[in-house]
A and B are shown apart, each in its own frame.
Chain A
C-alpha cells in the first residue's frame, strides 16, 4: 500500500519544501550535539510528523528508518494485562498514549525508565541518546504528564523526548517549559500548490493549474488532505481537465445536512430526527467534537448575525460537558435544542434573558 502522501513524503530535512527556516534550525540543532527535548505543535496536515522523522534521520542516519513493531505487555495495578504496540528502531521508539487509555501514565513510565536505563550499545551510533517520540501528546492524561516531567530531567543523559501535538493548550506548563517548542504552521496556498506540483511531477503527470487551485482551496491548509484529494481526483478523472468537483467526505456532507435540519424546523419531533442522525454519525466513529464543530459552523453560516455568538457559546459550553461526560449524544442533543430555541425565539422576538 502506498498512498502518495506516504510515497512522496520528504525523507530528509533538505527535501522539505516549505518552512525552510525551521528546517535549517532543526539541522543545526541535530549537528550541535546538544539536542534538547522538543515539542512539535501545529494544525493537522502541516507536516509535524514528517519533520520529526526527518530530524531523526538527520540525527541518526538512515538506520532510523528500519522500523519494527513490538508488542509489549504491561501489567496494570489491578494485574490486568495491557498489550501495546510499539514502533521502534535501534535509535528511537514511538508511542501513542491513547492506545493505553487510562493507564498511559504507567506505560509511559515503564517505557521511559527502560529506555533511560539502557545505554546505547551501538558504538557506531552518531548519538549517545535514544529518542522517544510521543504522538498525540495532547491526549496524555494529567497524571502521565506529571510523571513525564520528572523523567525528562532525570534521564536527560540517555534519552530525548519529542512530543507531537495539535495544540499546546492541553499540556501542563512544566512540560512546555522543559521542551524546545517548534511550531509547524500550516503551509500557505502557494506552498501547498508547489508541493502538489512536485508530487504530480514525481508521479509522472502534469497538474493543470486550475485543478491545483481548486484542490488548494478545498484543503484549508491541510497538506495531507490536499495530496489525498489529488490522488483521489487523479484516480477518478485521469486527465484532470475540465470542470472538477471535489466531493466532500461523506461525513462532512452529512453534518451539513444535519445543520439544515436544525434550521428547517424547531419541534420536539425534529429533535428526534436530528438525534438519529447524530447516532448515525457517532456509529461511524466520527469524533463527537468534530461533529459538533462541523454542524455548528454550518449553522452559524446560515443564521442571522445576532445569533452567531450565542450559538458558538453554547457549542463551546456543551463541548466541555461532552469531555467530562460519557454519553456524547446527550450533549449534542442539548446543544441542538438550545440552538433551535434560540433560533425560534429570535424569530418570535421574545425576550431571551432566560437563556443567559
Chain B
C-alpha cells in the first residue's frame, strides 16, 4: 500500500475521532491500520517504560484501583441504571404514549369500555436495544402492574431419543400451563402482602424468552396456544399478553439469498424469528393483536439519556475518589454514532470506555471505542459506496466544493500513482487513467460482505452512468460475479469483491458526472419479503386446489398442481371467482399476492430508503425531533446537496 498523504487530527469533523490522532501529529508515518485484536496490548502498555519494570507497577495500579473504586463492580451499567421512570427512557415520547394507551385500554377498555376484549396481545417489535423491555417495565411500575414473565428453563430430565417419556413434562407443556395459570389464577403472595384488599392486582404476562419457534411443531403448538388465549374470554381483571420480538435477519446474509432463489431448501420455512413466525397470520391481521414497532433510538435522545446516566454515575463515584475519568464529549458522540440506535450496546461501550485504567484517558478511550463499537453499516459503508461509485482517477479535476486541503491531498496521491502502460490499438477502448481507489484497502475496510456490497452497487450504479454503455459494463460484471461462485457458499468465488469493484470502476465513466446523486439502500430485501409472502399465498392456494383432490370425491389425481402451474395458469380463474362471489367454494383471498399485478408507470410498491452517513433507518414521521438537532442526520442533508464526497476526508477513515 502506498503511504497515504498526511492527515491531521480531525478538527473539522468531530464525528470521526481518530484512533491515532495524537500519534499522527508527532510520528506521521505511524500505523494507519488498526487491528482490533492486537491493538489493546500495544496501546495499553505504557510505551516508554522498559519491559522489565513494566510488569510490577501495572499490577499495583490494578490493586489500587480496586481499592479506590469499589463501585466499579460486577454490575453492568445496563442493569444498574435501568430506567425507573418515563423521564429516563430514551424511547420517543409518542411510542411510550401508544404503549401506555394500549395498556390502559387493555385494563379499562378505553372510552367505550369495551376495548379490553380486543386488547389481548401486544407485540412490541424493533431492533435490539431500542428500549422495548424497558418501556414495558417502566410503564408497569408506573401503573402498578405486576409482570409475570416466562423464562425457558433447561429441562430437568433431558429427553432422550427413544427413552420413556411418560413422566417427562416437556418445555412446551410447562409453557402452556404457565399461560393458563397466569391468565386465570391469582397470585397468592403479591396480592395479599403488598396490596390492600381493595382490588385484585392487575397483571400482565410478558413473553420475551419464547419457546423454540423455529421448530415447526413447536411453532404450531405456540400458535394454537396463542389462539386459545385470545379466544378464551378475558378474566376479570383482564390479563393482557405482551410479546417482545427483536428483529433479526434480513441483512443480506446467505440464507436470504438462498430463499430468494426459490429453489433452495427452506424456502417455505422461516429461518429467523420475527413477528410473523411468532404469531400466526390470522392472529396478526385479526383484531386481538396490536403491533407497536420500535425504531432505533434517535441520536439526540440517546445522547441525552447517556449523559444523564453518566452524571448519576460520576456523582456517586466521585465521592470515592475514583480515578475514572468521565468520557469526553467526542467519545460520547462516537458511542452514539456507532451504536446505530442500539442503546444497550451504547451503554456497554460507554462502561467499557470508563473502566480503562490510566491517565492517558482520552486517547485510550477513543481507541477502545473504535475497537469495540465499530459496527456494520455505520460510517464506513457510506464512504465505501461513494468511493467506488464516484470512480476518481488520477488527474481528475478537483470538484468545485473541494477545500485547499483536499486538493493538496489529491495532488499528493496522484504523484504516487503510476500511470498504466499504454494499451495496443485494438484495446484502446479499455484505456483508463490509473484509479485513486485502492481496492485492497477497500476490501480490508469493507464493513459488509461482498454479496451485500454488490446489492448496494446494484441499487445505485445507474445514477452514476451517463451512457447506456457504462451501465452495460456494470450490469454485466454484477451478473458475472453473482454467477461465478456457484450456488453454495463454500464454493463461492473468493475474488468476488475485487472483481466487482474493479469491474465497476472500469465500466463507470471517468470522471463521473456530478449531479448530487443520492445513495439508497437496496430495495432487494423489501421485495424479498414480498416474495416470501406471495410464496405463502401460493402454498395456501395450492393446498386449496389440491385438497379436495385428495379428500373429496375426485380424489384420484397423481401429482396435483405444481407450484409453477398454480402461479402461471390459475390467475384467470381466481380472478373470475373473485368477481363472481356466491360460488360455493371461494379461494383463499390471499391469492391476490401473486395473481394480481397492476402495471403503473409511476412509483414502486417499495419505498426505498436513503443511505446516510449514520446508516440509520430513521423514521421521519414518528421522530421529528431528529431533524432539528445538529445530529448526523442533519449534517448529512446539507452535505448531499453540496456534493458531500468532496468535503469528506475519506482517506481519514482508517
Contact = CB atoms under 8 A, between A and B. Distances in A.
Interface string A304-337: 0000000000000010111011111111011001
A321 B265 contact: no
A279 B523 contact: yes
Interface in A176-226: 222, 224-225
B472 A338 contact: yes
Interface in A233-268: 233, 235-236, 247, 249-251, 253-254, 257, 266-268
A344 B472 CA distance: 12
Nearest to B605: A280
A297 interface: no
Interface stretch (B380-388, B416-424, B463-471): B463-471
A235 B463 contact: no
A326 B570 contact: no
A279 B260 CA distance: 12
B314 interface: no
Given A9-B557, A279-B606, A251 B597 contact: yes
Contact of B585 (A1, A83, A225, A331): A1
Contacts of B467: 268
B527 A94 contact: no
B563 to A, nearest CB: 8
B194 interface: no
Contacts of A2: 548, 552, 554, 585
B319 interface: no
A284 B468 contact: no
A232 B599 CA distance: 22
Contacts of B583: 235
Contacts of A280: 527, 597, 604-605
Interface string B523-542: 11001101100110010000
B268 to A, nearest CB: 8
Contacts of A103: 265
Interface stretch (B11-19, B340-348, B473-481): B473-481
A216 to B, nearest CB: 15
B556 A57 contact: yes
B487 interface: yes
Given A49-B558, A65-B555, A285 B594 contact: yes
A11 interface: yes
Contacts of B472: 334, 337-338, 341
Contact of B462 (A253, A272, A341): A272
B580 A279 contact: no
B556 A321 contact: no
Interface in B269-320: none
Contact of B531 (A66, A254, A283, A354): A283
Contacts, number: 248
A137 B220 CA distance: 31
Given A57-B556, A285-B534, A326-B260, A68 B462 contact: no
Contacts of B567: 251, 284-287
Contacts of B552: 1-2
B593 A101 contact: no
B451 interface: yes
A147 B368 CA distance: 55
A253 B262 contact: no
Interface in B191-205: none
Contacts of B1: none
Contacts of A65: 555-556
Interface in A85-128: 87, 92, 94, 96, 98, 100-103
Contacts of A232: 572-573, 575-576
Interface string A140-168: 00000000000000000000000010000
Nearest to A249: B571
B283 to A, nearest CB: 22
B450 to A, nearest CB: 11
Interface in B572-628: 572-573, 575-577, 579-580, 583, 585, 587, 593-599, 601, 604-606
B554 A331 contact: no
A287 B262 contact: yes
Nearest to A136: B562
Contact of B550 (A69, A139, A283, A326): A69
A20 interface: no
Contacts of B579: 236
Nearest to B572: A232
Contacts of A17: none
A238 to B, nearest CB: 10
A39 to B, nearest CB: 14
B544 interface: yes
A331 B468 contact: no
A250 B534 contact: no
B487 A235 contact: no
A337 B458 CA distance: 13
A61 B263 CA distance: 36
Contacts of B258: 326
B462 A268 contact: yes
B162 interface: no
B598 to A, nearest CB: 8
A329 B547 CA distance: 34
Given A136-B562, A282-B531, A318 B479 contact: yes
Given A228-B572, A228-B573, A330-B458, A321 B605 contact: no
A300 interface: no
A82 interface: yes
Contact of A49 (B257, B455, B557): B557
Nearest to B216: A83
B554 A7 contact: yes
B260 A328 contact: yes
A340 B548 CA distance: 48
12 contacts: A2-B554, A6-B548, A45-B569, A101-B265, A236-B576, A251-B567, A279-B606, A284-B593, A284-B594, A327-B455, A331-B479, A337-B468
Given A1-B552, A53-B556, A283-B534, 12 more contacts: A1-B547, A7-B554, A81-B215, A92-B558, A94-B559, A228-B569, A232-B576, A268-B467, A282-B527, A283-B528, A283-B530, A344-B468
Interface of B: 215-216, 257-258, 260-267, 429, 451, 454-455, 458, 462-463, 465-472, 475-476, 478-480, 482-487, 523-524, 527-528, 530-531, 534-535, 538, 544-545, 547-550, 552, 554-560, 562-565, 567-573, 575-577, 579-580, 583, 585, 587, 593-599, 601, 604-606
Interface of A: 1-3, 6-7, 9, 11, 44-45, 49, 52-53, 56-57, 64-69, 81-83, 87, 92, 94, 96, 98, 100-103, 133, 135-136, 139, 164, 222, 224-225, 228-229, 231-233, 235-236, 247, 249-251, 253-254, 257, 266-269, 271-273, 276-277, 279-287, 290, 318, 320-322, 324-331, 333-334, 337-338, 340-341, 344, 354
A-B pairs, top 6 by smallest CB distance, nearest first, are A101-B265, A325-B483, A53-B558, A283-B530, A65-B556, A49-B559
